Structure 1
Amino acid sequence: MLPVTMALAAALVAGPIPAPTAPACTPGPLVPGAAYQTVACLADLTTAGTVASGHTDPADWAGLTSAATRNPTGVPGVQIDGYFPDTSTTNATHGWNHDSQFVLRLPDRWNGGLVVAGSPGVREQYANDVAISDWVLAQGYAFAATDKGNVGTGFYRDGKRPGDAIVEWNHRVTQLTRAARAAAARNYGRPPRRTYAAGLSNGGYLVRWQLENHPELYDGGVDWEGTLWHPDRPSLLTFLPPTLRAYPDHAAILAAGFAPGSEFLWEYHHQVYWDLTQRIYREELDPGYDGATEAGTPFCAPGTPACDADYDYELRPPSVRAAIARIALTGRIQRPMITLHGTLDTLLPITQDSDVYAEMVRSRHRDRIFRYYRVEDGNHVDGLYDTYPDRLRPILPCFRGAFTSLTGWVEDGTPPPASSTLPRPAVGDLANSCSLG
């Protein structure tokens, strides 16, 4: 889910980053359907170059990866920044004050592939730049990402019906994928040979949804701890309220689904993630719970009227299930997909999320095109590895291994290793290496 963290919140308060400046490129606008776009030729499309040129925003990806991550550099090409028509204005990046912003990067040395990502949490379009964009660009892929059509902790204000904001997330990824494929074809003179979806947290949810609903657009995808939504399955609306109500009761938090051994992460997640996440997503899907109050009362004591700690999904009216049904996953993936999830995920506990989704995939008889790797000691955000290098491991290197395995599966017919739990290595460079089997 990845709501706005303290670092990101501070950056948002500081204001928008300036509009990017770089030499304009010909032939000019390339993205069909965009309401506005600016095109630049860049000597380096990776964050090593785009931070200095203003073609990324470090606040978007703050905390998502380990500082020890080694990323490639020196990928020249074309970057297109812009936005599609939209009525909401929560994204202040570049001072545009317009949602449905996107970034498209087209490397000079193209391998014929395209990778499309939606942003994690409620972050903006550059949130995947360190975790995904840098690495796939160096492999020769074009890369496109979207802000999903609404950003920030007030994302639930977008739309008229419960669930509208999240429904838009799915639409915006579909929209960008179609537009990016066309733009790549215009730029290179031929359409992409392969298109892959990739993302983490809410971005992982979008991978799942796209491969279930739009197989015509993709050849496969990597789902990095995607969020699970289904009216009759666990979700943050079922495991976060009892956690907030009981905190810091050890037995009750374990009973809610959080993993034994994750206790050292609980205080941080209680302060930064659990309360905020519960309130803003509950407001999106069940705004009637707290009446005219918007997104509840932060850190309210159980027993306080309309306190989110007392929220009971099972007692809510059918309209709440109907809202979740609008964004629900089914497990009926129609293209090869690899899912990764950390066993110490302390925002979306693995037993309440990807373990359940994997069973949904199997129940739909799609396991032949599915692999699931449980990453021992992986957490929801790799940035915490820097604080706890003796207790956690980053998932990013496993993501890179999974992406390589996926492309071999799709393009060469080489199946990835069987689904399994990946043990934490006793030695080695955990921030930059991972074996899937």
Structure 2
Amino acid sequence: MSANHDFRTVQDLTTKGIGVHSDAASLVLKCPRIEKKVPGKEWTGQIGQSQAVIRLPDKEIWNGKLIIAATPAVRNEFSMDLLLSDIVLQKGYAFAACDKGTPRLVLRNPKRQITEWKEHYYQLTLKAQEMLESVYGGKAMYTYIAGVSNGGYITRIMLERYPELFAGGVEWSGVFWHPDSRHLLTCLPVYVQEYPIYANWRGDHTDRERIMAYGKLLEAGLHPDSEPYWHQYFKTYWVYSLWLYGRNLDSDWEPFQKEWHNDWLRDPSPLLYPFQARADILQQHIEKFANTGHLTKPLLSVAGNWDCLITYIHHAKAYEHLVKQAGFAENHRLYEIPRGNHVDGLLKTNQGSQQTVHPYFEAAVNHLEKWVEKDTLPPESGSYETIESFAPIGCSLFTG
């Protein structure tokens, strides 16, 4: 890697200075509070096949730390700007993120694989560390990683595979990829098939059929109290995610070979995926990038128990179980957030009884700092009803 970097000098690295990308805005209910400008340098460019952004506060502001932001879904390198960048920049952190090399519809090409993600984040981390030495004249005292959804998976897999690069991590509703457990390609098909029956869109299903469909939805991980939000997730995530990840992980199944069509949101029957009959194919692919639970560095997990996409039982709890099986429970905490869903941004139009998870994510970053830097143990795993019961004492949150 070259030591010459084409930085852009910026008067304010927060979104108040550089603007808000739509990929970032759609993920939050409210923007974090910005109390001050953060002048510094920004680099944007390509690292391998990924697009990346690296932000370095001025030397007198830098706190000696670096945080790597793991982006969710198939969103771009700016998608963590409101979830994380605005918060940590004001604390003096250097910040780096990339698009995992597969933004938007790249994964519809089966030649591009989820296995790339960790390699892109490995290269990003090395590049960011190189830039720190170039600008500040020294390495970061602590390098952390934090991510959301499939960025939560990245956080887990990077700590598992490259623990030497990181002091610890925080993940929010990380996707659990494991060939021997429930995962997206075994849960989404149930949601897509059974929800239209339960909702009785055509009006031709019996009460018994609807009750049976409801039971299957709960068995696939959905919380019964999250039912008012199922329709929103069907239209926004369930069908599209099944097609995109299914196309990538089982490209030989003929319906997945077709291009996306909005008609599937009205009639998803062409995408009724027989995941049980295709289990061997899915296992073969997922084994290549599966989580192991081998955590030698601290990891704090937060997850809403009303999550309608990455369900609490089949993702957060399943990963906690894997970590325990691997013998590393002392390095992991799981925090259940009552009434928390997957995407805080969807609360803008349909909040109901849901609570935002964003403050818990920020508070978990603070707990991680204290755990790593001051050997102060974080709260025990468990359910935390309010942010006041979870945030560190005396801690003022930018998301509060």
TM tier, smaller: 0.7 to 0.9
Contact 2:189 2:275 in 1 (8 A): no
Deviation, 1:386, is 3.0
Moved more, 38-47 or 417-426: 417-426
- 1:114 corresponding residue in structure 2: 66
Matched, 1:202 2:150: yes
1:84 to 27, 39, 47: 47
Contact kept? 2:246, 2:256, Cα under 8 Å: no
The structure in which a higher percent of residues are helix is 2
Q: CA deviation at 1:193?
A: 0.6
Unaligned runs of 5+ in 1: 1-31, 52-56, 87-99
CA distance in 2, matches of 1:430, 1:251: 39
Do the aligned residues in 1 keep the contact of 2:255 with 2:271 (CA within 8 Å)?
no
Of 18, 21, 28 in structure 2, the residue corresponding to residue 50 of structure 1 is 18
Name the counterpart of 1:40: 8
TM-score (norm 2): 0.88
Between the aligned residues of both structures, percent identity stands at 35
Moved more, 383-392 or 114-123: 383-392
Aligned residue in 1 for 2:181: 233
Q: Which of 117, 128, 137 is equivalent to 2:80?
A: 128
Shift of 1:179: 1.0
Cα 1:424–1:377 shift into 2, 3 Å: farther
| Match 2:240 to one of 264, 267, 276 | 276
Kindly indicate whether structure 1 or structure 2 has the higher relative contact order, using CA contacts under 8 Å at least 6 residues apart. Answer: 2
Shift of 1:431: 9.2
- Using the size of structure 1 for normalisation, the TM-score is 0.81
**Separation (CA, whole Å) in 2 of partners of 1:181 and 1:64:** 28
Equivalent AA in structure 2 for residue 211 of structure 1: L
Equivalent residue letter for 1:127: S
Q: Between 180-189 and 312-321, report the one with greater CA deviation.
A: 312-321
Does the alignment pair 1:288 with 2:252? yes
Give the equivalent residue in structure 1 for 2:204: none
- What is the one-letter code of the residue matched to 2:47? F
Name 1:29's counterpart in structure 2: none
- Give the match for residue 360 of structure 1: 322
Equivalent residue for 1:103?
Answer: 53
Aligned partners of 1:268 and 1:431: how far apart in 2?
28
Q: Say whether the 8 Å CA contact 1:115–1:196 is kept in structure 2.
A: yes
* Structure 1 Cα separation of the partners of residues 179 and 325 of structure 2: 17
Write the mapping of 1:35-434 to structure 2, written as runs, cut at 5 A. 38-51=6-19, 58-67=21-30, 69-86=32-49, 100-108=50-58, 109-157=61-109, 160=111, 164-248=112-196, 249=198, 250-290=214-254, 293-294=257-258, 298-299=264-265, 301=267, 307-309=270-272, 311-316=273-278, 318-424=280-386, 432-433=399-400
Q: Answer whether contact 1:48 1:73 (CA < 8 A) is retained.
A: no
Instruction: Give the secondary structure class of the aligned counterpart of 1:149.
Output: coil
Query: Would you say the 8 A contact 1:394–1:430 is kept in 2?
Result: no
Preserved contact between residue 290 and residue 296 of structure 1 (Cα < 8 Å): no
| Paired residues of 1:394 and 1:431 also in contact (CA < 8 A) | no
Q: What is the Cα deviation at residue 400 of structure 1?
A: 1.0
Partners of 2:148 and 2:171 within 8 A in 1: yes
CA contact (8 A) 2:359 2:387 kept: no
What is the aligned length?
A: 374
Deviation at 1:254?
1.8
Paired with 1:38 and 1:327, the residues of 2 have a C-alpha distance of 33
Matches of 1:136 and 1:208, distance apart in 2: 20
Q: SS at 1:315's partner residue?
A: coil
Deviation by residue 1:210-268 (Cα, 9 ceiling, x = unmatched): 00000010000001111110111111111111111111413332232100110110111
The one-letter code of the counterpart of 1:290 is E
Do the aligned partners of residues 33 and 148 (structure 1) sit closer, same or farther apart at CA in structure 2, a change above 3 Å counting? farther
Q: Please give the per-residue CA displacement for 1:389-431, whole angstroms capped at 9, x wherever unaligned.
A: 451111111111100110110111000010111114799x999
Deviation, 1:33, is: 5.5
Shift of 1:295: 5.4
Deviations 1:100-150 (A, max 9, x none): 110000011111100012221101100000100011111111000001112
Per-residue deviation at 1:361? 0.8
3-state SS, counterpart of residue 221 of structure 1: strand
Alignment-mate amino acid for residue 432 of structure 1: T
Tell me which amino acid in the other structure corresponds to 2:40: G
**For 1:74 and 1:138, how far apart are their aligned partners in 2?**
8
Aligned equivalents of 1:120, 1:142: Cα separation in 2: 20
